[in-house]
Structure 1
Amino acid sequence: MSTQKRRPTGVQAHSRREFLAQSGMLAAASTAALSGMVRAHVAEDPTIRLALIGCGGRGTGAVGDAFSVPGAPVRLHVMADLFQDRLDGSLNALRTNFADRMDVTPERCFTGFDAYRKALDELRPGDIAILATHSVFRPMHFEYAVQKGVNVFMEKSFAVDAPANRRLLRAAEESEKKNLKVGCGFMWRHSKARQALVDRIRDGAIGDVHTLRIYRVHGPVYVPMRAPNRNPIEFQIRAATCFNWVSGGFFIDWHCHNVDQACWVKDAWPVEAQAMGGRCFAEAGNNFDHYCIEYTFADGAKLFAFSRHMNHCWETYSDYVHGAKGSAVLMESLAQPNPRIYKSQRMDKSEIVWQYPEPDVNPYHAEWAVLLDAVMNDKPHNEARRAGLANLAALMGRMAAHTGQRVTWEEAMNSEFQYVDDIDHLSFESTPPIQEGPDGLFPCAIPGVTNEI
């Protein structure tokens, strides 16, 4: 259940694998956190079995991240994906790089829409399910994992519309009641560099925060014309980022990281949003190719989110914070955040008063160190509720852009707009929630006409 897309262009367009190759580091703190682990997982068998559900780049990368944690007895036990070729590609890559950590047999490789159930049925309480399909399936898969009583690592994004988001939040509440350990793919919260900056901002280093700016602007996402004999459900799932019903669209699927990070700094969720956006080029599927969203917090502070995916335009992937007494760089680039604080609003080298003194840890590894420590030592750790609320904040921004309306948090939370009425019974024979026109192009939202509230 992964996407086929043209790589974004430009210097800022780093893939997950590129980031891991560039950073090449495991958090020293991760090693320390695990050095005293008590292997009390299962007395007769300390092995933590992993189920990989969704065998694209994110899921395959997450398995490697789990294997990176020293002292953790983790083995990949079962795999599932909608498509056989995706499962085979992931399995071959993991066997090449982690042969000694693989315990996957042909009998524990499942494909199809019900593959997730078969995979989860192979786990024991205390094992971990990696949920890395596209987010249209995430609430359903998470719900079943919680029913089975297994721990979860789930990749972002988490839901494509408000009803699905509420389903995820209900499952999150149930996971808390069961004391399950749940890690979510907002790895930046496990970045030591970002944590150090947030601590200083919380301590008043730049005064009261009044403005945040977050940017992800780089080359386009591309979807080709569908061949007449190509199944439309398969076609759209394989080009997931270009279709709102599959991934939430690229603002949700990609920019939810930055939205979550900004709300972490602010220590609050926005109460309303208004936005503008549109589509200049039809290659973006049914997405807009640019979004500009103004979020407002309860104290009047603003968060501005800029998302643009076009060729030959200025590019950056960065986040900034402004306060009454100064300003800060929260993230300079994906490869290294390089956070720093300025004594004024002028972000000039001469104005720097604090800068993180060393390269950051690898947050992809650090988030797994925390999760595995919690599983092995029965420590509280559950990020599901926060992930669902961050996803809702991103959805609220998309709703505002697509409808052209001011959208409140309550309206976003309670929206009945739904892309897929019965995701539990989706099949290749289902009618696509979004269908191309006679010209082969997919219609996008029309502000002032479209309703997502």
Structure 2
Amino acid sequence: MKKIKIGAVGLGRLGYQHAENIAFKIPGAELVALCDKDEVKLNKTADAWGIPNRYTDYEDMITNQALDAVVISSPSSLHTTQIAQALDAGLHVFSEKPLGTNLEECKIAEEAVERHPELVFMLGFMRRYDPSYAYAREKIRNGDIGNVVLFRGYSQDPESCIEGAIAYAGHSGGQFIDMAVHDIDLARWMVDSEPITIHAIGGCYAHQEFGAFKDGDNVAALMQMENDAMVFLFAGRTAPHGYNVETEIIGTKATLRIASVPQKNMVEILDHHGVRQECSQDFLERFEQAYLAEINEFIKCIHDHRKPEVTVYDGTKTTEIAYQCKKAFETNELIRM
């Protein structure tokens, strides 16, 4: 089978992980180019992995005739422009979330995808590829829990990572767009419905710096969906125990809970603190297998000449909902969709 030759842009935490996975863990792919503004990091990484082509300019990278596809892990505000540029250059595209930080940006991506139906575009909603979430969705689709009453999603980053979150706050788009977008996507995917009303609250409980961007360090939203299901989302930056993503879906016949107690593994530690379990400390650790699975799916879609389940329109819809959550948070008013 021909290997798909990929250029990766962005060597932040997740971008580095994607690039490393492509270079060493995805059998059907070959990493042939890297792009990052930090030339020192770029050359150090490329030298260590033996990557021949390296760029500090994305537009230069996508002119490389050896490339079949790009993986985009750049800052959120660059996503849609880079998606359009790559598709117009004849390249398949995998982009990290969010699709865009506003609807105008999302439309740029939509139009580019529509211009190139022959190419594969995939958005990085990796939780769909986590085995536990995939299993839960099948239970819902099979009717095992009856009608969905409530979807509850918690996403919390550890306090130990707060400096990076504050530094990124100015161009993140806000908590709902940057962080809660995963739970918004899961809610739409699992409940199989769209919101009709949104109310959001929150504040700067530990770090006032977020207030400068009309954001909070902990925020929440309550939605009513078209099928009457309720959705509650909580996104926080100040968890003292580690990275914590938990989900609950309450149905009329049963309840599903995913990672209701966040834990690194199945080990229990018995020491002078008592009996305890350790927590994952970041998203890379918790969703390691999901990140591999989503890139594998991207490569398979290219080989099989088919489109992935998650589409550009899913990206637009989650951005729209996240933006309305942000608006509800800022105005403290009920938003009707």
TM-score range normalised by the length of the shorter chain: 0.7 to 0.9
Structure 1 match to 2:107: 166
Q: CA deviation at 1:119?
A: 1.0
Structure 2 match to 1:110: 55
SS at match of 1:320: strand
Structure 2 match to 1:144: 85
Give, in whole Å, the separation in 2 of the partners of 1:311 and 1:196. Answer: 27
Q: How does 1:116-265 map to 2 (within 5 A)?
A: 116-123=58-65, 127-175=68-116, 177=117, 179-220=118-159, 222-223=162-163, 239-240=167-168, 242-243=169-170, 246-265=171-190
Structure 2: unaligned runs, 5 residues or longer: 267-286
Q: Evaluate the alpha carbon distance shift between residue 379 and residue 322 of structure 1 in structure 2; reply closer, same or farther with a 3 A threshold.
A: same
Q: CA deviation at 1:380?
A: 3.0
Q: CA deviation at 1:301?
A: 1.5
Q: TM-score, normalised by structure 1?
A: 0.62
Q: How does 1:266-281 map to 2 (within 5 A)?
A: 266-280=191-205, 281=207
Contact 1:272 1:408 in 2 (8 A): yes
Structure 1: unaligned runs, 5 residues or longer: 1-38, 40-45, 225-235, 339-359, 410-453
Paired AA for residue 51 in structure 1: G
**Residue 298 of structure 2 corresponds to residue 371 of structure 1:** yes
The higher radius of gyration belongs to: 1
Structure 2 match to 1:303: 231
Moved more, 379-388 or 194-203: 379-388
Give, in whole Å, the separation in 2 of the partners of 1:384 and 1:192. Answer: 23
Structure 2 match to 1:55: 11
Q: CA deviation at 1:335?
A: 6.5
The structure in which a higher percent of residues are strand is 2
Give, in whole Å, the separation in 1 of the partners of 2:175 and 2:41. Answer: 21
Contact 2:99 2:106 in 1 (8 A): yes
Q: CA deviation at 1:223?
A: 4.7
**Residue 333 of structure 2 corresponds to residue 405 of structure 1:** yes
SS at match of 2:180: helix
Q: How does 1:430-441 map to 2 (within 5 A)?
A: none
Q: CA deviation at 1:312?
A: 5.4
SS at match of 1:310: strand
Structure 1 match to 2:320: 392
Q: How does 1:274-423 map to 2 (within 5 A)?
A: 274-280=199-205, 281-284=207-210, 286=213, 287-310=215-238, 316-332=244-260, 362-381=289-308, 383-409=311-337
Deviation per CA, 1:131-166, whole angstroms, max 9, x where unpaired?
100110001111111111211111122211222223
Paired AA for residue 272 in structure 1: T
Paired AA for residue 331 in structure 2: T
SS at match of 1:129: strand
Give, in whole Å, the separation in 2 of the partners of 1:138 and 1:91. Answer: 23
Q: Evaluate the alpha carbon distance shift between residue 205 and residue 257 of structure 1 in structure 2; reply closer, same or farther with a 3 A threshold.
A: same
SS at match of 1:322: strand
Q: CA deviation at 1:252?
A: 1.9
**Residue 3 of structure 2 corresponds to residue 64 of structure 1:** no
Paired AA for residue 169 in structure 1: E
**Residue 78 of structure 2 corresponds to residue 78 of structure 1:** no
Deviation per CA, 1:416-438, whole angstroms, max 9, x where unpaired?
xxxxxxxxxxxxxxxxxxxxxxx
Contact 1:320 1:327 in 2 (8 A): yes
| Aligned alpha-carbon RMSD (Å) | 3.0
Q: CA deviation at 1:333?
A: 6.3
Percent identity over paired residues: 20
Paired AA for residue 74 in structure 2: T
Structure 2 match to 1:231: none
Paired AA for residue 366 in structure 1: A
Paired AA for residue 111 in structure 2: R
Contact 1:277 1:402 in 2 (8 A): no
Give, in whole Å, the separation in 1 of the partners of 2:320 and 2:264. Answer: 27
SS at match of 2:300: helix
Q: Evaluate the alpha carbon distance shift between residue 210 and residue 390 of structure 1 in structure 2; reply closer, same or farther with a 3 A threshold.
A: same
Contact 1:317 1:333 in 2 (8 A): no
Corresponding pairs, count: 313
